[in-house]
Structure 1
Amino acid sequence: MNVAAKYRQASLYVGDLHADVTEDLLFKKFSSVGPVLSIRICRDLITRRSLGYAYVNFLQLADAQKALDTMNFDVVKGKSIRLMWSQRDAYLRKSGIGNVFIKNLDKSIDNKTLHEHFSAFGKILSSKVMSDDDQGSRGYAFVHFQNQVAADRAIEEMNGTLLKDCRLFVGRFKNRRDREAELRNRANEFTNVYVKNFGDDMDDESLKEVFSQYGKTLSVKVMTDTSGKSKGFGFVSFDSHEAAKKAVEKMNGKDINGQLLFVGRAQKKAERQAELKQMFGQLKQERFRKCHGVKLYIKNLDDTIDDTKLRKAFSSFGSISRVKVMQEEGRSKGFGLICFSFPEEAAKAMAEMNGRILGSKPLNIALARRS
């Protein structure tokens, strides 16, 4: 193993840092376990404020392992830090191998508690409870194990168990492509139908009479308010996809007592939100395709760079009509697009920003092809 490879293996990622943490403070902390080659806190290119994470490079791999074993979740400046091996293999991060998704977490579960509950199944490369802007838990998390065997054990033993009176869902991480394929398959196999825009006089029996002509119904329900009055919408569950599909085809848009019904596949809230998010993303991409200026393709973006920071970094070069950092699961995919109004502005931006460090990485900029 060459020296460079050895140093890479002795590198730790330090996350969830307080904004006031300095390199000197981290050096004092980590050098207590062994010689430290370098420490770099990643900072905003313009403001130089900490981005909340750093990299610590040890001279010896054993010292890095000791720090990981003994200092993970230590409190520094009032915040619990999160340590993991610096993962430079993009394929391992994005492949989903060993990656587990957990939801329905009690809001009191933090990174340390999550790690403690799942470390029994195998070596953890990273674990993270997702938080909102106020640093409160969003109720879901990701745990990345070193191998799929450990991940499968965690899923088998933890899925459906109670943790702080919350019944967990633990399953394999699915990337966006897999989730979209699942949604398409679900759309082709539905048996539950959503019906709305009918009158106040519609009850369960009346709704069943209307829809039972298309096939056997398992359940029919008109939603009502506290007084028992119809809210104007309901659900019909058929015993077969064919019957449900036929009901949608025949009844959607049909006039009943002067009102046009809406009849469609019943969807869970999360599924509707996923479809809307996908549609919104497609609209944004379409807007970029219609850019009347010059588009630049920005690669090798730091994970912390969002639309606002990317726009700010390039705004001095001219008029920017659109900026988009591509994302998946709320995380940057490492590239984005900027649309300048004039070719001269784009050329100047390319000349001065190509290779410049933004966040913690040197930018790679190219002229985007017109589509």
Structure 2
Amino acid sequence: MNSSGPAYPLASLYVGDLHPDVTEAMLYQKFSPAGQIMSIRVCRDVITRRSLGYAYINFQQPADAECALDTMNHEVIKGRPIRIMWSQRDPGLRKSGVGNIFIKNMDESIDNKALYDTFSAFGNILSCKVVCDENGSKGYGFVHFETQEAANRAIETMNGMLLNDRKVFVGHFKSRKEREAELGAKAMEFTNVYIKNFSEDIDHEKLKSIFSEFGKTLSVCVMTDERGRSRGFGFVNFENHGDARRAVTEMNGKELNGRVLYVGRAQKRLERQGELKRKFEQIKQERIQRYQGVNLYVKNLDDSIDDEKLRKEFAPYGTITSAKVMTDGGHSRGFGFVCFSSPEEATKAVTEMNGRIVSTKPLYVALAQRKEERKAILTNQYMQRLASIRAIPSPAIPTTYQQSSGYYMTSVPQVGGRVYMHVTAGAGAVVRGASQYKYSAGVRYVQQVISVPAPVIHQVVPNTEPAVHVRGQEPLTASMLAAAPLKEQKQLLGTKHTIVLFAVGENVSFQKKKVSEAIILLAAEHCSGCVFTVCVLWMG
């Protein structure tokens, strides 16, 4: 493959059809044998953080990305075969259709890998996908070649061939707009006519005699129920489009035996549903445009406010075309809508009525928003709030940049030795410590108030000297002190003027010997004349 070409200079791969539980770590473990990985990112929903089913992997070398594409495509991760292709960030190139072909009437057993293996002989494949639903393959798919020439070769060779005993159609990919335009052109050349709302006494012969006057008919059908009675609708198929069009023009809306007929172009169910959907969307958009800036949302309404009272409250600010309080079982839901005739009147009403007390409650008045707009605004506000929370640095943790999502592997040269975080004293703070140990009978314990300096975080620096582990947070026992090397004993005791040793279940004579050693060590490490107190708690 031409992985070093100008279209893919970053050696970036798209990995699709991922199981929802696949993480960056799993992908790193899978793809790292192919070569050095710069970054891995599983794309997730911004709100729920659930996987969207695809990821991007950036390799350091294009050859490594090519190796991963050649050897790992369609391999299984968590029970699902993954689909790998070169990452194409330019949406214009992705949607141009150049090199893209469409295959339909495929056998259900053909999956992504089988389709890839079948068409890879014609050229370099950028992506290959069989469209599926919850029941499996839907019988069609797409193959995107690197060049249009390869796509043309595939169409010329494979169109009409048998794949798993099924004759497949292979053709150029067409966008939805192109397909709709073709369907619209074909629809205008219809010959099949749909007739409904006629009486039960109209049978095949009567229907044929009525419509034969418009031209030669190829077939006439009246739909019947299981008893053989007419269901009041049927179809007439004419020989040519002109006759069918004339029949629709003259017979639609005509009264027959006391009933008004509907006569129109016969449509398939999916085509009819698509047309109804387009009409609904058109009406919806017209309604949105009509009420843009003039419809007000009013909430916190008193239960006594009905439609008329709501209209009366807003009437001084302009001409109201509608006022409605939303109810549930006859009871007010506490909000409603007021629609004015002009945006200026609506703006004035918002200014004057928002916050005004009506009956016993202050109103909230604002321009009404569609559900999609309100959801988008709330989502944006949530993300801004989340970003501001993440941006606040913790006083006890060094502020470092963290990628919100993604498993990044960076090749940073390592410095020999261990890395430590150095903490120096800042402003003092008083901390009341809670005991971590169970109390025993006969021993008096005094809770201490310890002055602890607030930590000041400095930059993390490498330390090439041997590390000494200081166990200052653990109870200091004589056996611990005896077992520690001399250097660590000094750090355990430090410059404390009062040393408390816990002796738990140990030999008394042995402990006295160790206490003497501790006193000698203190005398050697501190200035002469200093007084030190050594307290031993015998807890045997």
TM band (smaller chain):
0.7 to 0.9
Shift of the 33–211 alpha-carbon distance from structure 1 to 2, 3 Å rule, reads same
Q: CA deviation at 1:349?
A: 4.7
Q: Under a length normalisation based on structure 1, what TM-score does the superposition of the two structures give?
A: 0.73
Matches within 5 A, 1:292-371: 292=293, 321-322=369-370, 338=373, 349=381, 352=384
CA contact (8 A) 1:45 1:359 kept: no
Deviates more, 1:204-213 or 1:266-275: 266-275
Q: CA deviation at 1:164?
A: 4.1
Q: CA deviation at 1:252?
A: 0.9
Give distance in 2, aligned partners of 1:319 and 1:15: 42
Matches within 5 A, 1:34-113: 34-113=35-114
Q: CA deviation at 1:96?
A: 1.8
Q: CA deviation at 1:52?
A: 1.4
Deviations 1:203-250 (A, max 9, x none): 333222111111122222223345544333222222222211110011
CA contact (8 A) 1:214 1:246 kept: yes
Deviations 1:279-325 (A, max 9, x none): 3433443354344489xxxxxxxxxxxxxxxxxxxxxxx9994355x
Corresponding position of 1:207: 207
Tell me the secondary structure at the aligned position of residue 244 of structure 2: helix
Shift of the 358–28 alpha-carbon distance from structure 1 to 2, 3 Å rule, reads closer
Shift of the 141–279 alpha-carbon distance from structure 1 to 2, 3 Å rule, reads farther
Corresponding position of 1:155: 155
Corresponding position of 2:185: 185
Corresponding position of 1:309: none
Shift of the 287–81 alpha-carbon distance from structure 1 to 2, 3 Å rule, reads farther
Q: CA deviation at 1:153?
A: 3.3
Q: CA deviation at 1:265?
A: 0.8
Deviations 1:55-114 (A, max 9, x none): 111111121111111101100111111100101121121122222233334444322222
Corresponding position of 1:306: none
AA in 2 matched with 1:266: A
Corresponding position of 1:19: 20
Asked if residue 176 in structure 1 is aligned to residue 176 in structure 2, the reply is: yes
Q: Under a length normalisation based on structure 2, what TM-score does the superposition of the two structures give?
A: 0.52
CA contact (8 A) 2:293 2:367 kept: no
Shift of the 214–152 alpha-carbon distance from structure 1 to 2, 3 Å rule, reads same
- Tell me which of the two structures has the higher relative contact order, counting C-alpha pairs closer than 8 angstroms and 6 or more residues apart: 1
- Segments of 5+ residues of structure 1 without an aligned counterpart are 295-317, 325-337, 361-371
Give distance in 2, aligned partners of 1:94 and 1:65: 23
Q: CA deviation at 1:36?
A: 1.3
Shift of the 340–271 alpha-carbon distance from structure 1 to 2, 3 Å rule, reads closer
Shift of the 160–322 alpha-carbon distance from structure 1 to 2, 3 Å rule, reads farther
Shift of the 6–112 alpha-carbon distance from structure 1 to 2, 3 Å rule, reads closer
AA in 2 matched with 1:281: E
Corresponding position of 1:236: 236
Give distance in 2, aligned partners of 1:287 and 1:359: 41
Tell me the secondary structure at the aligned position of residue 218 of structure 2: strand
AA in 1 matched with 2:370: R
AA in 2 matched with 1:115: Y
Shift of the 82–284 alpha-carbon distance from structure 1 to 2, 3 Å rule, reads farther
Q: Which has the larger radius of gyration?
A: 2
Q: CA RMSD in A?
A: 3.6
Q: CA deviation at 1:255?
A: 1.7
Tell me the secondary structure at the aligned position of residue 245 of structure 2: helix
Give distance in 1, aligned partners of 2:101 and 2:55: 25
- Segments of 5+ residues of structure 2 without an aligned counterpart are 296-365, 389-402, 407-540
AA in 2 matched with 1:34: G
Q: Percent identity?
A: 58
Shift of the 33–197 alpha-carbon distance from structure 1 to 2, 3 Å rule, reads same
Give distance in 1, aligned partners of 2:101 and 2:7: 29
CA contact (8 A) 2:85 2:126 kept: yes
Deviates more, 1:153-162 or 1:123-132: 153-162
Corresponding position of 2:223: 223
Corresponding position of 1:299: none
AA in 2 matched with 1:71: M
Asked if residue 141 in structure 1 is aligned to residue 132 in structure 2, the reply is: no
Give distance in 2, aligned partners of 1:7 and 1:93: 13
Matches within 5 A, 1:264-283: 264-283=264-283
CA contact (8 A) 1:201 1:230 kept: yes
AA in 2 matched with 1:277: K
Give distance in 2, aligned partners of 1:30 and 1:72: 11
Corresponding position of 2:349: none
Shift of the 292–197 alpha-carbon distance from structure 1 to 2, 3 Å rule, reads same
- For these two proteins, the number of residue pairs brought into alignment is 317
